[in-house]
């Protein structure tokens, strides 16, 4: 069965699911990937990650080096996997069928799907508790308990609002997402810089050298922990935005901008977290259990209000990563073999875009190689000249 474009030009509704993104819809440069990954990772949670690494018994310097190495290594792996996006036009969890086969891909995809859903729930909950905390501080008589914490009703109210907005916006297309990502990346960057400037006076620099050095095993464990907290979690959808780039986009650009967008924000925040816990163990322990509550408590009210709103926006937008954007289940659900189409996975998507069903068989290994191959001279020209690369083929449903 020959597959045609699944998007409606000008509609703004994302219709591409596990199908290859058509050549006519490929656009942009690898530089756009930086804002996407940066906005997802510039989060106050990055400070608590530094506290966790330091908690393995490392010194301040060891924790910083181990964390940055772990972040950079895992982000590089995400960048490598992202290269498959432009080459095939497929989401990462559909590309894995080339290695595992149609049925063999179901088990790893199922685990990836469960992991993604759990992470979305966590992100939306963090956004909800932050918004509820803002209400509790502004209107304590209505939204705060006697101990000062937000009421359950306030958290539920914010949870419903954030979840509803996530479901509605999830159906909008890649072009809209990229445009908004640039604004959110800029906004979160400015607010994070101001936040760091306000937090730095709480670091007792004279106390940083009082901790002992950890063992070599603890150092390796810290690097592995940093890898699992950031980059490893992105591996199962590393190429989901890169697939919208032209087929012969240079691999080094995809790897570099992806890895840089992931590593830069989390590395800066990890260093801040290590410095905080290395100088004040009590503050570090509080931030490890409740990073948002413990760290925002140090902020003046004039900055606490806009910063809390930015946290809500950034956490909500983080929940809009590719698996959530594709109608709640994304590339992680259809590749398990379920017959439902991408836009039949949530009621909201059904109302905003036409649902479709189709069954097709996986392409042969030969057609995959012909489709993904580009000549060296074509790469220099920036376009695919291979006739075989332009042949129409169907992705496995």
How much is the pLDDT for 26? 86
CA 330 to CA 334: how far, in whole Å? 7
CA 43 to CA 360: how far, in whole Å? 41
pLDDT in tens, 347-395: 333 333 333 333 334 445 555 455 555 444 444 444 444 433 333 333 3
* pLDDT band at 396; cut points 50, 70, 90: very low
Asked if 169 and 352 count as a contact pair (C-beta separation under 8 A), the reply is: no
How much is the pLDDT for 379? 45
CA 93 to CA 98: how far, in whole Å? 10
How much is the pLDDT for 13? 67
Residue 59 is assigned to a structural domain of this protein: yes
Axis-axis angle for helices 32-41, 301-318 (nearest 10): 120
Query: Which helix (DSSP H) or strand (DSSP E) does residue 194 occupy?
Result: helix 174-199
pLDDT in tens, 258-317: 999 999 999 999 999 899 888 887 877 787 777 777 887 788 888 888 888 888 887 777
Q: Which two tokens stand for residue 244?
A: 């919208």
The parent domain of residue 127 ranges over 23-336
Residue 362 is assigned to a structural domain of this protein: no
In this prediction, residues 64-93 reach a mean pLDDT of: 92
Q: Which two tokens stand for residue 71?
A: 């972040």
- Residue written as token pair 């006697």: 146
How much is the pLDDT for 268? 93
Residue 342 is assigned to a structural domain of this protein: no
**Comparing C-alpha atoms, which of 189, 187, 265, 273 is closest to residue 230?**
265
Reduced to 3 states (helix: H, G, I; strand: E, B; else coil), residue 391 is coil
Residue 330 is assigned to a structural domain of this protein: yes
Taking the CA atoms of 347, 178, 23 and 366 in sequence, report the sign of the dihedral they define. negative
Return mean pLDDT, the chain: 76
In the chain, how many domains are there? 1
Window from 36-50, 96-110, 329-343 with minimum mean pLDDT: 329-343
pLDDT in tens, 146-173: 887 889 999 999 999 988 888 777 677 6
Residue 186 has pLDDT above 90, yes or no: no
CA 160 to CA 149: how far, in whole Å? 19
Domain with 143 in it: what CATH number?
Answer: 1.10.4160.10
**Comparing C-alpha atoms, which of 236, 234, 233, 231 is closest to residue 333?**
236
Asked if 82 and 254 count as a contact pair (C-beta separation under 8 A), the reply is: yes
pTM of the model: 0.73
How much is the pLDDT for 120? 83
Question: Could you tell me which residues come within 8 angstroms of residue 273 by beta carbon, excluding any fewer than 6 positions away?
Answer: 46, 47, 48, 49, 50, 51, 54, 284, 287
Q: Which residue has the higher pLDDT, 203 or 225?
A: 225
Residue 132 is assigned to a structural domain of this protein: yes
Residue 203 is assigned to a structural domain of this protein: yes
Residue 376 is assigned to a structural domain of this protein: no
**Comparing C-alpha atoms, which of 366, 392, 85 is closest to residue 248?**
85
How much is the pLDDT for 10? 42
How much is the pLDDT for 380? 46
How much is the pLDDT for 205? 84
CA 360 to CA 358: how far, in whole Å? 7
**Comparing C-alpha atoms, which of 345, 374, 287 is closest to residue 14?**
345
Question: Could you tell me which residues come within 8 angstroms of residue 107 by beta carbon, excluding any fewer than 6 positions away?
Answer: none
- Residue written as token pair 């996006």: 85
Q: What percent of the chain has pLDDT over 90?
A: 20
Residue 364 is assigned to a structural domain of this protein: no
pLDDT in tens, 6-63: 444 444 666 777 788 888 888 888 998 998 888 888 877 888 889 899 989 899 999 9
How much is the pLDDT for 320? 65
Q: Among 4-13, 178-187, 214-223, which range has the highest average pLDDT?
A: 214-223
Q: What percent of the chain has pLDDT over 70?
A: 75
In this prediction, residues 211-224 reach a mean pLDDT of: 90
């Amino acid at each position: 069965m020959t597959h045609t474009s699944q998007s409606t030009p000008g509609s703004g509704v994302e219709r591409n699911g596990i199908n290859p993104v058509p050549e006519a819809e490929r656009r942009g440069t690898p530089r756009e990937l930086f804002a996407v990954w940066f906005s997802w990772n510039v989060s106050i949670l990055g400070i608590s990650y530094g506290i966790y690494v330091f908690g393995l018994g490392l010194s301040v310097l060891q924790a910083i080096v181990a964390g940055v190495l772990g972040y950079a290594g895992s982000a590089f792996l995400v960048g490598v996997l992202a290269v498959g996006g432009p080459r095939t036009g497929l989401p990462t969890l559909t590309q894995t069928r080339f290695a595992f086969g149609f049925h063999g891909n179901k088990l790893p995809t199922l685990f990836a799907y469960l992991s993604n859903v759990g992470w979305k729930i966590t992100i939306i909950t963090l956004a909800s508790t932050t918004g509820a905390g803002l209400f509790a501080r502004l209107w304590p008589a209505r939204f705060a308990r006697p101990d000062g914490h937000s009421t359950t009703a306030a958290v539920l109210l914010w949870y419903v609002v954030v979840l509803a907005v996530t479901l509605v916006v999830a159906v909008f297309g890649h072009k809209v997402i990229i445009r908004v990502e640039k604004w959110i990346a800029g906004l979160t960057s400015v607010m994070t810089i101001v936040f760091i400037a306000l937090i730095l006076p709480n670091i007792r620099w004279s106390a940083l050298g009082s901790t002992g050095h950890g063992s070599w095993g603890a150092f390796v464990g810290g690097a592995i922990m940093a890898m699992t907290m950031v980059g490893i979690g992105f591996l199962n959808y590393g190429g989901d935005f890169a697939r919208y780039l032209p087929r012969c986009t240079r691999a080094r650009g995809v790897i570099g901008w992806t890895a840089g967008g992931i590593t830069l924000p989390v590395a800066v925040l990890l260093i801040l977290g290590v410095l905080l816990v290395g100088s004040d163990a009590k503050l570090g322990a509080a931030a490890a259990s409740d990073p948002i509550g413990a760290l925002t408590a140090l902020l003046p009210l004039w900055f606490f209000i806009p910063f809390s709103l930015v946290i809500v926006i950034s956490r909500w937008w983080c929940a809009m990563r590719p698996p959530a954007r594709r109608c709640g289940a994304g590339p992680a659900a259809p590749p398990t073999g379920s017959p439902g189409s991408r836009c039949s996975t949530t009621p909201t998507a059904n109302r905003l875009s036409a649902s479709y069903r189709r069954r097709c068989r996986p392409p042969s290994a030969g057609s995959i190689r012909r489709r993904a191959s580009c000549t060296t001279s074509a790469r220099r020209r920036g376009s695919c000249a291979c006739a075989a690369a332009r042949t129409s083929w169907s992705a496995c449903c």
